[in-house]
Amino acid sequence: MRKIIAKIVLVIPVVVMGGTRAYAYDVANGFTLDGFGYQDYRQTSANRVDYVGQTGNGVHNFLGLLMVGQLTDRSKLWAQLQANTTNHPNFTWLFLDWQFTDSVTGHVGRVKFPFGLINEYIDNKALQMTLTLPFAVSESADMTYDSYTGVGLDWNTPDTPWGNSLLQGFFGNTYTSPAPILATTYPNNPPVAIGPASATQMQPTTDLHLLGGRVTWNTPLTGLRFMLSGSVTEVGLQPLALTPANYASLMTREYRLMYSAEYRRDGLWVQSEYNLHRFPGGAGYVGIDADSAYVQAGVTVGKFLPYIRAQTVVTNQNLSSNPNFYQQQWSVGSNYALLANLNVRLELDRNHGFAMPIASQGSPYYPPGAMLAPGGGVPALNWNEVGVEMNFTF
């Protein structure tokens, strides 16, 4: 606990130095710098979850820097550098944009993945309502990507009586870690058969030929917007038991579709998304048939923003009654704005099922002997999580 306090104390001066600054630093003519980050502590009553350590609790740190260089009147270079508890500093994305006309912009490089609502600013907790991310944008469960490498085009449509839209299309490649929800067994549970007995365990290696788009509709009702995002990728599969015979490249297609809605105005903030992830099974490998949805709402009361969220995920529709593959969660929490750019959060989550702990551990890719429940034992069907977070921008 002392270590946590010491780390928080170290971070606060950095934030306070920023004061109530609201916009980017103009470091040099045409070059701006924005910083953001968070630090949190989370503890579970049972089961291990994403980033939460062996004993069921964990501290996470994140620091990000967004750099934008104006190259010409029509072109900018964007880069986001980030570091966190588990990864070395790296560029999340780095791309060049070009303004073709007043309403058409192109992108090339490693571009932020325009998919859904929260995924677009997933790294910046200051822009989010809740402490824990919705399952629907979970990277552990392979629900979305962070970025793609390729080209994209944005088109802002003209105004109409029905509002206006932003249409985005993109093409390229994306790289993901092996999708853990192909997991069939869990060390503390009896094996779960999710495919034919002869099925070979496979892990996706590279997602290629990503093709997708998003439509954002800003309705005439100020503050209300809807989005529809979709993508398809070709996925190379690699058998877990690698032999020359089965190494023959297996390619399949992976589909994602996301529906998003948001209303934010005068202190009321409501967000909802539904994500559908399909990875059709085939000879020699098992597919993915996952769905996730959430709705969350918060109301600003002075410096407080209390909120509530309900969400569900099923990581395999064929086994939707098995708690390895489903999870429902109710969350309540509140934000408190200490400063214009410094916010603290407290959140309580009540869970039924443990699909996300399974997904985040990546069994059976996780080293043998890994325990879902702290200290081993059978995972708990009903369990709680509590978290406290401080997030900031500077």
Partner 1 sequence: MKRSRIKVASYGFAVWGGLSALMILPAHAQLVAIVNKTVHISHSEVVRIYRSEMNGYKPFMLGDKAAQDDFDRHYLGLARDDLKYLQDRALYAGRSLPPKIVDSVDQMLDAVANTPNGVGYVPLQNVTEQVRIVPENQDGSGNTWR
Which residues bind to partner 1, rule: CB under 8 A?
22-24, 26, 32, 34, 36, 66, 68, 73, 76, 78, 80, 93, 95, 97, 99, 101-103, 105, 107, 111-112, 114, 120-121, 123-124, 126-127, 154, 156, 159, 164, 166, 218, 222-223, 264-267, 300, 393
Looking at the Cβ atoms of 121 and 330, the one nearer to partner 1 is 121
Looking at the Cβ atoms of 8 and 68, the one nearer to partner 1 is 68
**Contact of 36 with 123, CB cutoff 8 Å:** yes
Looking at the Cβ atoms of 135 and 269, the one nearer to partner 1 is 269
Looking at the Cβ atoms of 112 and 277, the one nearer to partner 1 is 112
Minimum CB–partner distance for residue 212 and partner 1 (Å): 15
Minimum CB–partner distance for residue 290 and partner 1 (Å): 24
Minimum CB–partner distance for residue 173 and partner 1 (Å): 18
Cα distance between residue 326 and residue 319, in whole Å: 8
Cα distance between residue 22 and residue 57, in whole Å: 33
**Contact of 184 with 192, CB cutoff 8 Å:** yes
Looking at the Cβ atoms of 97 and 142, the one nearer to partner 1 is 97
Minimum CB–partner distance for residue 101 and partner 1 (Å): 7
Minimum CB–partner distance for residue 23 and partner 1 (Å): 5
Burial (Cβ within 10 Å: 0-12, 13-18, ≥19) of residue 148: buried
Looking at the Cβ atoms of 142 and 154, the one nearer to partner 1 is 154
CA-CA-CA-CA torsion for 369, 372, 378, 381, nearest 10 degrees? -160
Looking at the Cβ atoms of 91 and 365, the one nearer to partner 1 is 91
**What is the DSSP pairing of strand 288-299 with strand 75-84?**
unpaired
CB atoms inside a 10 Å sphere around CB 147: 20
Helix H or strand E segment including 35: strand 31-44
Instruction: Give the helix ranges, DSSP H, for the chain.
Output: 2-18, 355-361
Cis peptide before 364 (omega within 30 of 0): yes
Minimum CB–partner distance for residue 77 and partner 1 (Å): 11
Cα distance between residue 98 and residue 79, in whole Å: 15
Minimum CB–partner distance for residue 109 and partner 1 (Å): 10
Compute the radius of gyration of the chain from its Cα atoms: 22
